[in-house]
Structure 1
Amino acid sequence: MRLFTQLLILCISTTLPAQTTFTRLSEEAAANLAAAKGTFVIIDFYATWCGPCKTMDERVWSQDTVQALQSRFVNRRVDATNTNTELAKYGIKAIPALIIQDANGKEYFRKVGYMTEEAIVELLNQFPPGMEGPYAADFVATEQPDAFNSHFLRARHYQVAARAASGAIAARLANTSNDGLKDARKMLAKNKSNPESLVERLDLMEAENLLLSGRAKKALKLIAGLEDGLDARNNAHACYIKGMAYRKTGQPELAEECYDQLQEAEDNEEFLAMYAEKNPQ
């Protein structure tokens, strides 16, 4: 009897599915929840007959480290057996497949095939913790398409999100910030209003987006033509961008010179804090 009980427990333990944090939310419900939480949506395309899918459940999605990171996202699972419409919509032809998108449906990541726990952890860590500001700015820009401030704030909020992200995700967010900058420039041209300090601020934001996208040399080139006569805030921003760009291009001496200039600059609190965060002593 005791042997039978042990065998029964063993059979049950080996057949129970791994516990994951995925839900069966609809596409619309997941998007609404992501907008409310200020986060992204993870979509996992899965089937019970898919061996690699089940292995990922056992070795990846059920792990505490992964689930702790997933708690920052809306997690949605799509059964590839029964949802041919969604498979076609997303262009999924093989599983397992993983897509991460924002609340507006903009795609930030796509991968077909098995991913290790280490790869998932590295991926999820690239995403910023909060998207409330960018989502609110998206709404305002849609409601007020002819207002300079709505596009400027959209560019600003996405840049802040890009600063909190890393890798390819930071680059994608920076590109969205650039979209806002382009629309803001159009509004300035349309209104025939081009205050020099404001134009320079847009240029510096574009330079920082280049930096956030991994194009430090291009950021330095853009700043080279902006340094004369900048107001206090723009000068501090320029010092920050140059210092970070020199670090990324392997020029620590020049980076230190820029940091010294940043410390001496007026209106430098925001950029000093950012520099210290990015370059802890």
Structure 2
Amino acid sequence: MRKGIKLALTITTLFIAVVLSIMIGCAKKAEDAVVSPNEINFVTDYATALETAQAKNQKIIIDFYTDWCVWCKRLDSFTYSDSAVIEMSKSMVFAKINAEVDTLTAQKYIIPGYPTLVITESDGTEIERIGGFLPAEEFIETVNNYLNDVGTLADYLRMADTNATVEVNAIIAEKYESRGMYDMAMKYYRQVIDADPDNAEGKTPDAMLSIGGILMRDKLYDDAIAQFKKVIKKYNGSESAIDGELWLGYALRKKGDTTAAINHYETFLKNYPNYEDSTRIKETIEKLKNPPPPEEG
């Protein structure tokens, strides 16, 4: 009888030990899954990012990405895997937001392309943003500069108050455009053009092209076409003129003037027979001449 009781107690003790061991092991695995020293612990939704940042009084980096974005994947592979970037993430809230899933947050920050990294205060107020891929060392330097208010939109606006150079105004315009603040971008691009009509500082053609691009976004195609023609005429034969030619063809297509677009591209190839991307232009002409049949239903 005593042997039976002893055996039962032994089995019970072993069972409890095994269960505790499994529970401890699972807890350890769960802990490792949440915070690994070899990877960034990304927050995956905006509300949690704000809540965490405010609780810890930390800044936020929101990485807006899509599943098909090649450069987003390069950020994951080459930048976020870097030990120094991982260390930086411990003092900030790093969030990854799929812009095609959380469309409301993407719209809130007016995300023009991917990847776009928005650096914010703990309450979500934008400090600055990074458009595109940066390798680890440049990423760290850029983020640290922005956190110290160096090179931000606010920083350049202060510069403009004391010394509104062509270069400063051009940078301000680009920063406003990247934030989707197109009226302000247009204002500063025009200041660049007015201050340097002879393009002594090399910023005027890009400012003119950018204005055309903004007009395109607003579907003001005739105004955009006129703008691109100005660039082509004023800077004939230059790289800026070539860019203007390509933008003009695109504007004609967006306007729906297929015949004019075809004629423009064919003339472009005659004028620039050695253009490096002529194959793509020829493919575009072929698609315009032979559009796919409309889908049924």
Work out whether the TM-score is over 0.5.
Answer: no
TM-score by length of structure 2 reads 0.42
Q: Decide which structure has the larger Cα Rg and report it.
A: 2
Identify the structure with bigger relative contact order (alpha carbons < 8 Å, sequence gap 6+).
1
TM-score by length of structure 1 reads 0.44
